[in-house]
């Protein structure tokens, strides 16, 4: 593994840490810690006498800015060390574009004040877009690191199981979006007991974010079924990643059940998100190996 490959895997790992810290910002209600200012924080480059919420939000912005610089460096390094037409170059370009859109959506959340105690459906929609972009960004970084490490390019056309696999990725994204909406509902409308949470979800007068929570476990089970089918279909050509994907999927379902039973404490929400990201990475690598171009 050369220096570019090692740096690409590091960039992926660092971005995962930034994503998890972003979830801490949302779960602790610290999204308004810098006010409705971006890129400044409360009108300052570096906030003076900051509150805890300001420190949490400002640290997320600082680490996100560093993540952007890492992706820029990855793009430059890929362009300099890999030949024209290399999939590594294409992956790095995709990661750069998605990093910029990630920053734009994050800025929009702040500038439109869709943070902290905002309970609007607009906030949920913005978060859904944010999460979809994050999934694609993680996929681009994962594939860039895979290709930089010597992985072959991927070919879908005419490959058996391609439609099932792509449908599985779509199902994982949809389940992830529903999970983000459910987590937002848990943050804005915390329940004291499981009975209270279930009763609130069943109420016709409950907020839409609460009533939407029930969709997440249903969509998660559907996605898990597709993951199992895709892993079985690709096991012959990517046995290790098929096993890893199935294991992480089972773990994610278990963490999800515990998350519901414990009423979604912040630390468990972060664990749930971490496993979701690892499952997504494993699923992407399952396809990268299962549909890799073969030598004629």
pLDDT, tens digit, for every residue of 169-183? 999 999 999 998 888
C-alpha count within 13 angstroms, C-beta hemisphere, residue 288 = 27
pLDDT of 206 higher than 80 = no
pTM: 0.92
pLDDT, mean over the chain: 90
Which residue range is the domain that position 1 belongs to? 1-151
Question: What pLDDT does 142 receive?
Answer: 98
Q: What is the pLDDT of residues 72-89, one digit of tens each?
A: 999 999 999 999 999 999
163 shares a domain with 90: no
Question: What pLDDT does 5 receive?
Answer: 97
How many domains would you assign to the chain? 2
pLDDT of 288 higher than 70 = yes
**Average confidence (pLDDT) over 264-281:** 94
Query: With 0-12 CB in 10 A as exposed, 13-18 as middle and 19+ as buried, what is 102?
Result: buried
Of 57-61, 109-113, 186-190, 198-202, the poorest mean pLDDT is in 198-202
173 shares a domain with 120: no
Structure tokens given for 205: 């007068």
Q: Is 84 left (phi over 0), alpha (psi -120 to 50) or beta?
A: beta
Q: Give the residue from 151, 176, 200 where a domain finishes.
A: 151
List C-alpha distances in Å: 199 to 89, 184, 196.
52, 18, 5
137 shares a domain with 201: no
94 shares a domain with 188: no
182 shares a domain with 125: no
Question: What pLDDT does 198 receive?
Answer: 67
With cut-offs at 50, 70 and 90, classify the pLDDT of residue 268: very high
255 shares a domain with 202: yes
Residue 157 C-alpha from the chain's centroid: 27
Q: Give the residue from 133, 151, 169 where a domain finishes.
A: 151
Q: For Cα atoms 95, 101, 105, give the angle at the middle one, nearest 5 degrees.
A: 140
294 shares a domain with 219: yes
79 shares a domain with 158: no
208 shares a domain with 146: no
Of 12-16, 143-147, 194-198, the poorest mean pLDDT is in 194-198
Q: Give the residue from 129, 151, 173 where a domain finishes.
A: 151
Q: What is the pLDDT of residues 226-236, one digit of tens each?
A: 999 999 999 99
117 shares a domain with 34: yes
Distance, CA of 134 to CA of 19 (rounded, Å): 8
Q: What is the pLDDT of residues 10-29, one digit of tens each?
A: 999 999 999 999 889 888 87
Query: With 0-12 CB in 10 A as exposed, 13-18 as middle and 19+ as buried, what is 79?
Result: middle
286 shares a domain with 161: yes
Question: What pLDDT does 296 receive?
Answer: 44
286 shares a domain with 219: yes
């Amino acid at each position: 593994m050369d220096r570019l490959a090692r740096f690409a895997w590091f960039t992926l790992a660092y971005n995962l840490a930034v994503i998890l810290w972003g979830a801490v910002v949302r779960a602790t209600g610290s999204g308004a810690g810098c006010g409705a200012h971006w890129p400044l924080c409360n009108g300052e480059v570096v906030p003076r006498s900051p509150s805890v919420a300001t420190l949490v939000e400002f640290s997320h912005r600082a680490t996100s800015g560093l993540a952007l610089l890492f992706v820029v460096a990855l793009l430059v390094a890929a362009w300099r060390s890999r030949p024209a037409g290399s999939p590594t170059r294409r992956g790095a370009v995709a990661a750069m574009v998605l990093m910029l859109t990630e920053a734009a959506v994050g800025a929009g959340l702040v500038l439109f004040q869709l943070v902290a105690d905002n309970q609007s459906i607009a906030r949920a929609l913005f978060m859904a877009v944010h999460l979809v972009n994050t999934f694609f960004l993680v996929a681009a970084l994962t594939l860039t690191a895979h290709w930089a490490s010597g992985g072959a390019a991927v070919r879908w056309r005419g490959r058996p199981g391609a439609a099932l696999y792509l449908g599985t990725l779509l199902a994982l994204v949809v389940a992830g979006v529903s999970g983000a909406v459910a987590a937002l509902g848990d943050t804005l409308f915390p329940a004291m007991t499981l009975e209270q949470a279930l009763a609130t979800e069943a109420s016709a007068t409950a907020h839409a974010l609460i009533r939407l929570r029930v969709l997440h476990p249903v969509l998660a089970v559907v996605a898990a079924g597709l993951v199992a089918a895709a892993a079985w279909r690709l096991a012959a050509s990517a046995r290790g990643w098929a096993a890893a994907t199935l294991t992480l999927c089972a773990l994610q379902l278990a963490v999800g059940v515990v998350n519901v039973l414990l009423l979604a404490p912040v630390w468990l929400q972060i664990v749930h998100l971490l496993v979701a990201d690892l499952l997504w990475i494993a699923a992407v690598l399952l396809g990268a190996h299962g549909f890799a171009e073969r030598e004629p």
